Chain A
Amino acid sequence: MAVIVRVPTPLRRITNGQGEVQVSASTIRDAIDKLEEQFPGFKERLIDEKGELRRFVNLYLNDEDIRFLKGLDTELKEGDVLSIVPAIAGGHR
């Protein structure tokens, strides 16, 4: 299934500056593995040593938080948009 992955600016140095990348994958975990092949270093930004999504990064499949779906095992359908939203804090200084 071809899906679009939206990449936040802090991760774009890994995706050669691209804010949107396409990947063909059956699940979210599979999509991340495929993106790792294309962009080495991508996976470790999102996934911890136990294979779980890092707690300060959220993934949204379309507009739903994947924690409320089947997590990384959520299946993808053609045309889905996967958004990566990391915690950011900047505001004042």
Chain B
Amino acid sequence: MFQFTEEQIKRYARHIILPEVGGKGQEKLLKSKVLVIGAGGLGSPSIYYLAAAGVGTIGIVDFDVVDFSNLQRQILHNTERVGIPKVESARMTVEKLNPDVKVITYNTMINKSNIMDVIKDYDVVLDGTDNFPTRFLINDACYFMGKPLVSAAMLRFEGQISVFDFRDKEHSPCYRCLFPEPPPPGLVPSCQEAGILGSIGGIMGCIQATEAIKLLLGIGEPLVGKLLVMDALSMDFRKVKLRKDPGCPLCGNNPTIRELVEYEQVCDVHF
């Protein structure tokens, strides 16, 4: 039996009392490793709640530094930290919140040559990135490595989230079943110009953290084979079916993608 300290018993009391978590579940969380790619609008709340929940190891990938324009939504960071790397700011916030959490930082842009090495030791991967090329890269890498991926995206007042559980590649759809390839430049807003209501990151990031914790604990029904679409203007949450596409270039019957591919970064708004 895992030996919780007295402080840990108090800290996690509201988890331990839940029959779905209990002491065993809390122990599992403390022994779990979650990788969050992007310490921004989605990564901030997801990292915050994963840390509060006592996920023992949190890896954080981001190449950026904190900017004033981030602070409207990226709650891991603060005014004093403008100019310092986001991963360092994230580490400081997490360490102040929960000393049980070991933070591993990757102050780098995730790419074809480093992604496999970065994700290999983690139990679950969270995608909170802001561009299509990286989203496809993360999807493909998690597929090849058999890692469950919690993928969320947001824009303006909307959010989308799904779970691709590549521990069960036979059945789980992937991001390419949803969208086979990145949109051509100029047709979909993908970057900062489109605007985002800050609290949308809170909603979607918290759902990501919840799905990650469910996967780690093996409880409930994760959003596998479902896409949750949220429209905050009407506060409408809809779940639609996300089926495994037999024609998917990655996980379909005749896959054409057999190794990592890198797409060019584009940043434009016309949709």
* A residues neighboring B (CB under 8 Å): 6, 8-11, 19-20, 45, 54-56, 58, 60, 63-65, 67-68, 83, 85-93
Contacts and interface: CB of A to CB of B under 8 A. Distances in A.
Given A56-B182, A91-B152, A85 B229 contact: yes
Contacts of B127: 91
A88 B241 CA distance: 17
What are the 8 A-B residue pairs with the smallest beta carbon separation, nearest first?
A92-B40, A92-B38, A56-B183, A88-B155, A92-B130, A89-B190, A91-B42, A91-B128
10 contacts: A8-B231, A19-B231, A58-B179, A63-B240, A68-B243, A87-B153, A87-B182, A88-B153, A88-B190, A90-B155
B183 A9 contact: no
A55 B153 contact: no
B130 A91 contact: yes
A87 B194 CA distance: 14
Contact of B129 (A60, A85, A92): A92
Given A87-B188, A88-B160, A89-B188, A63 B239 contact: yes
Interface string B132-161: 100100000000000000001111111010
B192 interface: yes
Contacts of B240: 60, 63-65, 83, 85
B242 A8 contact: no
A8 B238 CA distance: 12
B123 interface: no
Contacts, number: 127
B100 interface: no
B97 interface: no
A74 B212 CA distance: 36
A64 to B, nearest CB: 6
B192 A93 contact: yes
Contacts of B236: 6
Interface in B71-108: none
Interface of B: 38-43, 62, 64, 70, 127-132, 135, 152-158, 160, 178-183, 187-192, 194, 196, 201, 227, 229, 231, 233-234, 236, 238-243, 245, 271
Given A9-B158, A11-B271, A90-B191, 8 more contacts: A6-B236, A6-B238, A10-B155, A55-B180, A56-B183, A88-B190, A92-B39, A92-B62
A91 B245 CA distance: 26
B245 to A, nearest CB: 7
Given A55-B180, A91-B38, A92-B129, A67 B245 contact: yes
A58 B135 CA distance: 17
Nearest to A9: B156
Given A91-B152, A91-B154, A64 B194 contact: no
Given A9-B231, A45-B271, A89 B132 contact: yes
A83 B64 CA distance: 35
Nearest to A93: B130
Contacts of A67: 245
